Amino acid sequence: MPERSELLEALSPEDRNVLISRVTPIRLETGKVLYDAGGVVDHCYFPTGGAVASLQVLFSNGIAVEALMVGNEGALGGIVSNGSTPAYARASVLHGGQFLRISSADFEHAKEASSELRSFFARYADCLLAQVFQSVACNAIHTIEQRAAKWLVAATARIGRHEITITQEQLASVLGVGRSYASRVVQRFKAEGIVRTRRGGIDVLNPALLEQSACTCEHLVKRHFDAVLPSVYPPLETAPASRAM
């Protein structure tokens, strides 16, 4: 995938140039923690190309459940806040690659100088909130199989290929379920020829069948993005009309 931020590409040339002049390209490896819950957010990050980050809510028993997945359609770190605030969730790199990094101070100065920038990131905040709403609803009513399939669909769309670097234990963690549940789902997908596993990864063999196993939550989020920030969200397979909502 081209190493660019689709979110930044949606800006006007003038506003994009203002931000691009202040960002620093940086390559980050899978697993790198950008900031932890309660920590100071001193930089904002824009994933580019197939780089993907994850926002995770931490629990006292050590479990970290994924709240949001962010690819080149989005950004992390004080993007929608005004000024310095402590992080509520942990942000870490889910799939390594190039990120564009800008200091929180420089980002705030850019927004103060441009009402268009403020309006743009207010719309992005609306899209983030839609993702959170849909995630809450999805976790409440959809099966682990539907959610796992949805997560794999979302990951491959952002990474831009069908090979995902994630263990079954990590998949269980991001879904907020026990490893045995995640393992049973993966084994079922393997038996149906949808995926294969390898050391430290899961490869999608049949994207169409994977789509049929997933709920439509990812498509609903994309629909909202397309209405609020057109041409930013990654393309997805067509969702069958009969699939569970």
Quote the pLDDT of residue 12: 94
What CATH number does the domain containing 82 carry? 2.60.120.10
Residue ranges of alpha helices (H) inside 78-178 are: 104-113, 115-141, 144-159, 168-175
Distances (CA, A) of 60 to 34, 64, 89, 116, 206: 20, 9, 13, 41, 38
What is the per-residue pLDDT across 169-200, written as a single tens digit (0 to 9) for each?
889 988 988 889 999 999 999 999 999 999 98
Q: What is the pLDDT of residues 94-148, one digit of tens each?
A: 999 999 999 999 999 999 889 999 999 999 999 999 999 999 999 999 999 999 9
Does residue 98 form part of some domain? yes
Indicate whether 142 belongs to any domain. Answer: yes
Q: Tell me: do 108 and 156 sit in the same domain.
A: no
110 & 189 share domain: no
In this structure, are 48 and 96 located in the same domain?
A: yes
Res 242: pLDDT: 39
Classify residue 179: in a domain, yes or no.
yes
Q: Is residue 243 part of a domain?
A: no
- Asked if 58 and 87 count as a contact pair (C-beta separation under 8 A), the reply is no
Q: Please check whether residues 104 and 146 belong to one and the same domain.
A: no
- 91 and 155 both lie in a single domain: no
Q: Do 45 and 11 share a structural domain? A: yes
What value does the CA radius of gyration of the chain take, rounded to a whole number of Å? 18
Smallest CA-to-CA distance from 153 within 241, 51, 91, 239 is with: 239
Does residue 154 share a domain with residue 107?
A: no
Contact present, 147 and 215 (Cβ < 8 Å): yes
Q: Looking at the structure, tell me whether residues 104 and 158 fall in a common domain.
A: no
Distance CA 3, CA 138 (A): 31
Both 77 and 143 in one domain: the answer is no
- Domain match, 146 and 90 both: no
Residue 241, pLDDT above cutoff 50 = no
Q: What local confidence, expressed as pLDDT, does residue 82 receive? A: 62
Query: Taking the CB of residue 66, how many other CB atoms lie within 10 A of it?
Result: 21
Rounded mean pLDDT, 59-69: 84
233 is a domain residue = no
In a domain, 119, yes or no: no
**C-beta neighbour count of 182 within 10 angstroms:** 21
How many structural domains are present in the chain? 2
Convert the pLDDT of each residue in 10-34 to its tens digit: 999 999 999 999 999 999 999 999 9
Contact 159, 95 (CB under 8 A): yes
H helix or E strand, kind and range, residue 7: helix 6-9
Q: Answer yes or no: do 172 and 95 share one domain.
A: no
Domain-terminating residue out of 49, 79, 114: 114
* Short-list 102, 92, 89, 123, CA closest to 7: 123
Token pair listed for 218: 């990812």
Asked, for residue 236, whether it belongs to a domain, the answer is no
- At residue 88, the pLDDT reads 87
**Res 81: pLDDT:** 65
Give the Cα separation of 192 and 80 in Å (integer): 42
Residue 221 belongs to a domain with what CATH number? Answer: 1.10.10.10
Does pTM surpass 0.85?
Answer: yes
Which residue segment(s) compose the domain that 184 sits in?
Answer: 138-228
Residues 6+ apart with CB under 8 A from 158: 50, 52, 69, 71, 72, 73, 95, 234
Q: What is the pLDDT of residues 192-238, one digit of tens each?
A: 999 999 998 999 999 999 999 999 999 999 999 999 999 999 998 65
Same domain, 35 and 95: yes
Cα dist. 233→36, 70, 131, 198 in Å?
26, 10, 12, 29
Q: Is the dihedral of CA 55, 171, 160, 149 positive or negative?
A: negative
Residue 28 structure tokens: 């980050």
**3-state DSSP assignment of residue 225:** helix
